[in-house]
């Protein structure tokens, strides 16, 4: 979120298409989970949250900040992902409309 490793990078049509395909892939998988009743919410909002969580954890892991053993790294990934998914469970309270923002 706070890093931009390739400041000179200007994506062309192929890179933009690959990015769109990846977004569609993630949003589609989230939609399947919503349709199955596993999670509840807006598919685009959830996809953004999941991606942000994964990117943040990946950066933490790459920097060696999630622990010194595979067990501690895995434990922290599992904790974060399960906490996010539990918060998206259909029985979880929804975000009040006043707190919601548009795109």
- pTM here is 0.74
Residue with more model confidence, 94 or 41: 41
Q: What is the pLDDT of residues 10-67, one digit of tens each?
A: 778 888 888 888 889 999 999 999 999 999 999 999 999 999 999 999 999 999 999 9
Give the residue among 40, 47, 41 at the shortest CA–CA distance from 26.
47
The three-state secondary structure class of 61 is: helix
Give the residue among 86, 92, 101 at the shortest CA–CA distance from 45.
101
């Amino acid at each position: 979120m706070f890093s931009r490793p390739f400041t000179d990078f200007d994506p062309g049509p192929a890179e933009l298409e690959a990015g769109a395909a990846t977004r569609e892939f993630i949003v589609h998988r989230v939609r399947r989970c919503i349709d199955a009743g596993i999670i509840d919410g807006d598919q685009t909002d959830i996809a953004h949250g999941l991606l942000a969580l994964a990117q943040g954890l990946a950066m933490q892991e790459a920097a060696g900040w999630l622990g010194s053993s595979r067990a501690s790294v895995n434990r922290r990934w599992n904790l974060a992902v399960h906490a996010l998914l539990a918060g998206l469970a259909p029985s979880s309270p929804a975000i009040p409309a006043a707190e919601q923002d548009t795109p």
